[in-house]
Amino acid sequence: MRIVPLSQARELPLWRRPVTLLLLMAFAMPLAFATWSALLNNFVIEVADFTGVEIGWLHTVREIPGFLAVGVIALIIFIREQVLGLVSLLLLGAATAITAYFPSLGGILTLTMLSSIGFHYYETVNQSLQLQWLPKDRAPQVLGWLVAVGSAAALLSYSLLVVTWRAFDLSYATVYMLGGGATVLIAIYCMVAFPQFQAPDPQLKTFVLRRRYWLYYALQFMSGARRQIFVVFAAFMMVERFGFDVHEVTALLLINFVANMILAPFMGRAVHRFGERATLGFEYIGLIVVFLLYGGIYYFGWGVALAATLYVIDHIFFALAFALKTYFQKIADPRDIAPTAAVAFTINHIAAVFLPAGLGYLWVVSPGAVFGLAAGMAATSLMLALMIPRHPAPGNETILNRLVPAPAE
C-alpha cells in the first residue's frame, strides 16, 4: 500500500490524483442509491406485499445508521479513512445488488440496514476527505462540481431505468444488480488504482464536541429537520393530492438532476465570491417562500403546475447546502475534521428519528400546517446563518465573537 502525502499528489498523473478519486466516488454512490430509491416503493409493494406498517419500519431502520454515524470515530482508529470510505461504498453497492433476492420483511430490512450503513458511513467519511483534501480557496468550486457529477450519475440511473424498464421487460433483480454492481466495480477500481493519500494534519480519533462549533451544529440540526419534510412530504403531496404516477414523479426527479448538473458549478462560484453567510441566507429565504407556497396549495387550492415548479426549485435550493461544509472547513482545527464530520452527521439525523412519524399525525389533520412548520424551520435557519461572519476563521466562528470572547474549550 503506497502512501502519498497530499503535497506530492500533484506530481501524479491526473487520473490518480485526489480530486479524481473524489469525482469517481461522487459518481459511484448515486448509481446504487438512485436505483434503490427509484424501485423501492414498487418493489416492496408488488413483491413483498408491504403495507404502511412495514414501510414505516423500513424507513426507521434506514435512518438508524445515520444517527449512529459517530461510530466512524471508532473505526478510523483501526482503518484509514480512505479505505473506510471505499469499503462503505462497496457495502452500499453489494447490498443494493442483491436486494431483489430477499423479498421478505426480514430480508429487506437486513439489506436496508446494510446498504444504509454503507451509505451513511460513506457520506460521513467522504465529507471529511473533501474538507481535508481540497484547499480552502478551491473547495466551493470543486464541491459544486462534485454535486454536478453526483447529479449526472443519478440522472443516468433514472434515465436508463425509464428507457429500459418497459422496453426490455426488466426484472427487479436485473436492475438492482446492474446499479449496485456498477458501484461495486468502481469502488474496487478506486481501491486498486489510487494510492493512499496522507493529509498534512493527523485526525483526532476521539469524540469531539467543541463549544466554538455550536453554530455549525445548530445549522446541521435544522438542515436535517428541513430535509425530512422535503423528502417525506413533498413527494408524498405530489402523489396524494395530484395523483402523480411513477413516471411523472420520476420526470420531476430527472428535471432536478439536470438542473443541479447545470447550476451546481455556478453555485460553487457563488459561495466562493459572496461567502457562506450570503449564500446560505439566499437559500433559506428561498426555502421560506417555497414552503409557504406549498402550504398555500392546501389553503388556497393552487394547482399542480405550481406544485411541480416548487418541487424542482426546492431541490435546487437544497443543493446550496455544501456552503455549510465550506463554513466548517474555514473555522475548524484541521485535526477536528474527521471526528466532527461524524458528530455533525449524527446531529443532522436526530430529527430523522422522530420528525417523520410525529409530522405524519399532523399531516392527517392539516398538511398545510406541516409546510408552515417547515417555513418556520427555514426562518430559524436564516437567523442562524446571519450569525456567520463574512470571513469565518478559527476564533471568528460567529459574529458574537466580536462582542464576547470565545469560551475556553
Mean pLDDT for each consecutive 10-residue tract of the chain (409 residues)?
A: 86 93 96 88 81 73 85 90 96 96 92 95 94 91 93 88 78 92 97 93 85 94 85 77 73 85 90 93 94 93 90 85 92 92 88 74 86 94 95 92 54
Give the model's pLDDT for residue 40: 81
Task: Give kind and range of the element (H or E) at residue 197.
Answer: strand 196-198
Give the model's pLDDT for residue 408: 46
Query: How far is it, in rounded angstroms, from Cα 290 to Cα 297?
Result: 11
49: left (phi over 0), alpha (psi -120 to 50) or beta: left
Give the model's pLDDT for residue 217: 95
Which grid cell is 152?
449526472
Give the model's pLDDT for residue 363: 83
Which grid cell is 37?
430509491
Give the model's pLDDT for residue 242: 83
Give whole-number Cα distances, 88 to 67, 357, 374, in Å. Answer: 16, 28, 32
The rounded Cα 75 to chain-centroid distance in angstroms is 21
**Count of beta carbons in the 10 Å neighbourhood of residue 8:** 11
Give whole-number Cα distances, 231 to 82, 193, 235, 333, in Å. Answer: 29, 36, 7, 33
What the chain holds in terms of domains, given with CATH numbers, is 3-198 (1.20.1250.20), 211-387 (1.20.1250.20)
Which grid cell is 32?
446504487
Query: If you ran DSSP here, which 8-state letter would residue 196 be given?
Result: E
Query: How far is it, in rounded angstroms, from Cα 11 to Cα 257?
Result: 34
Give the model's pLDDT for residue 404: 52
What type of residue is 371?
Answer: F
Query: How far is it, in rounded angstroms, from Cα 319 to Cα 283?
Result: 9
Long-range contacts of 42-45 (CB under 8 A, 24+ apart): 42/246, 43/99, 43/100, 43/103, 43/172, 44/108
Which grid cell is 318?
437544497
- Kindly tell me the burial class for residue 289, based on how many C-beta atoms sit within 10 Å of its own C-beta (0-12, 13-18, 19 or more): middle
Point out which residues pair with 73 in neighbouring strands: none
> Which residue stretches of 68-104 are H helix?
71-75, 81-97
Query: How far is it, in rounded angstroms, from Cα 173 to Cα 180?
Result: 10
Query: How far is it, in rounded angstroms, from Cα 318 to Cα 284?
Result: 9
